[in-house]
Structure 1
Amino acid sequence: MEQTSKIALVTGGSRGLGKDMVLQLAKKGLGVLLTYKNSQEEALSVVSQIQQAGGRAAALRLDTGDIKNFDQFFVAVKRTLKEVFAADHFDYLVNNAGIGYQAPVGEVSEAAFDELVNVHFKGVYFLTQKALPMLHDGGGIINISSGLARFSMPGYSAYASQKGAIEVFTRYLAKELGVRGIKANVVAPGAIETDFGGGHVRDNEQVNQFVRNVTALGRAGLPEDIGGVVAFLCTEEARWINGQRIEVSGGMNI
């Protein structure tokens, strides 16, 4: 495994899409600091897998919807960077952590809406803000959106609206941080077979069949379809990609 001084901070990196992102980043030689909310054992297993392959990794707990604890989190980030990576900055921020939610507009509760806002938009906004002093000039930010921000499916209005906000936010990051050479891009997965949202796409055959029928490549996505794209955006080869939305959906609803 090629070694490099580059480091990525990936939220929600213990399982699903985030886990594959972390593993693909490590394969490219980046050090990875991943976060988890509840899955400590799984997070430590990912760290061990990377270390056994000769890479550098560490895991920290973070609830991305609990904005008041972000200052404390970055104290831990600073300590971990020094202890594990012999560094005081990182190069890439991947805002991946999220929660699933589905309900018709008429049934969305205010509590559920607020939780979605905190995790998918407010949390991403202020975590990114807090990260900026520790992000190297010339680095990058990758925000994870959804195909649902482009096409509409009943039941996802609250979730998809937050992803739409993230896409606008990303363009502003690209514009404002360009003076520091920091790129900001969106990766928008289509329907993916993971345990996200209760494994809805993976375990419900009717849903899976629907996804296959509306996807040009004829199947639902897998985590390994996404991680490599995120990892690519954290390389020098992607240095001129900025302010872009890259949908990785196999051609859903085209």
Structure 2
Amino acid sequence: MRVAIVTGASSGIGQSAAVQLAARGAGVVLTYHRNEAGALDTVARIEKDGGTAVALPLDVADATAFPAFRDAVAAALRERWDRDTVDALVNNAGFAEAVPFPDMTPDRFDRLVHGLFKGPYFLTQTLLPLLADGAAVVNVTSNSALSTQVEPGYSVYAAAKGALAVATRYLAKELSPRGIRVNAVAPGPTRTRLADDAFERFPEVIAPIAARTALGRVGEPDDIGMVVAMLAGDEGRWITAQHLEVAGGYGL
């Protein structure tokens, strides 16, 4: 059985990716930060359909916790799946925060960069001994790092996501001798809990976003989760170093 790690899988894109990977026959180690109930719901959904999953706590902004997390993953692999490696790592956990440039502070800057770039980068490094040869890494970025539709307040968020996209290409080269593929998925506006449930709190923004999207709606978590699962699985075996926008033609 293949096994995948999905960070930030208590809701939204991460939850969808975990469920989609399980539907394709993978065991899943999924993480949560504050939303343990959501993580347990993800586990329940996977187990209801006959899959296997384990939920572990992780703050991707705290790199000092990564070695202990690696040990917890290794223990779960042995106990649940009787193996010592994983076949996929999905770096999905993150957050969004709009901060106008005049209001940006070094502390807020560091929080964004640590959570969105430094965290995934060093988590991948920490988990490298557990990645099987031929494994896949999928980084979830944002089309804010690609789009010409620039929104005020997201300069650091978009820059951090852009940094992760650039690192994706370099890691794809560095890890290729082991057959490890590294790709990134860049979602457009997607109905998730990001930015404190922005779509729930401000439903009036949905219609204008849909109007700016070629396919006429905002994204749903499964729109992204299915692509993540594809890149992490056999369907993506000849794809590496790519930054794939999954946004329904947002901004066309």
* Superposition TM-score, scaled by structure 1 size: 0.96
Tell me which moved more, 149-158 or 92-101: 149-158
Distance in structure 1 (CA, Å) of the matches to 2:183 and 2:153 = 26
CA-CA distance at 1:253 after TM superposition: 1.1
Aligned to 2:248: 250
Equivalent position SS for 1:226: helix
Opposite residue 188 of structure 1, the aligned amino acid is A
Q: Which residue in the other structure is 1:114 paired with? A: 110
Identity %: 46
User: What residue in structure 2 maps to residue 39 of structure 1?
Assistant: 35
Q: Which amino acid counterpart does residue 79 of structure 2 have in structure 1?
A: E
- In structure 1, C-alpha distance between the alignment counterparts of 2:238 and 2:203, rounded to whole Å: 40
State the secondary structure of the residue aligned to 2:29.
strand
1:3-14 → structure 2 map (5 Å cutoff):
5-14=1-10
Q: 1:72, CA displacement in angstroms? A: 0.8
Deviation by residue 1:88-109 (Cα, 9 ceiling, x = unmatched): 0101000000011002111112
8 A contact 1:92–1:141 mirrored in 2: yes
Name the CA distance, whole Å, in 2 between partners of 1:205 and 1:193.
10
Task: Return the match for 2:23 from 23, 27, 40.
Answer: 27
Secondary structure in 2 matching 1:65: coil
CA drift of 1:202 comes to 4.3
Q: Which residue of 1 aligns with 2:160?
A: 162
Q: Distance in 2 between matches of 1:64 and 1:23?
A: 21
1:129 aligns with 2:113: no
Query: CA offsets per residue over residues 74-132 of structure 1, 9 Å max, x none?
Result: 11111011111111010100000001100211111221111111111111110000111
Where 2:215 maps in the other structure, the secondary structure is: coil
Aligned match of 2:169 in 156, 168, 171?
Answer: 171
Query: Could you tell me which residue of structure 1 aligns to residue 57 of structure 2?
Result: 61
Which whole-Å CA distance do the structure 1 matches of 2:41 and 2:235 have between them? 30
Alignment of 1:91-106 (within 5 A): 91-106=87-102
Match of 1:82 in 2: 78
C-alpha displacement of 1:181: 0.4
Please provide the CA RMSD for this pair: 1.1
Residue identity in the other structure for 2:180: I
SS in 1 for 2:216: coil
**Aligned equivalents of 2:38, 2:192: Cα separation in 1:** 15
CA–CA distance in structure 2, aligned partners of residues 197 and 94 of structure 1: 20
Match in the other structure for 2:226:
228
Matched-pair contact (CA < 8 Å) for 1:191–1:201:
no
> How far does residue 17 in structure 1 lie from its aligned partner after superposition?
1.1
Normalised TM-score (structure 2): 0.96
Deviation for aligned residue 1:201: 3.4
Aligned-pair CA distance for 1:31: 0.7
The amino acid across from 2:216 in the alignment is G
CA contact (8 A) 1:202 1:208 kept: no
Which residue of structure 1 lines up, in the alignment, with residue 203 of structure 2? 205
Q: Deviations over 1:123-144 (max 9, x none)?
A: 1110000111110000110000
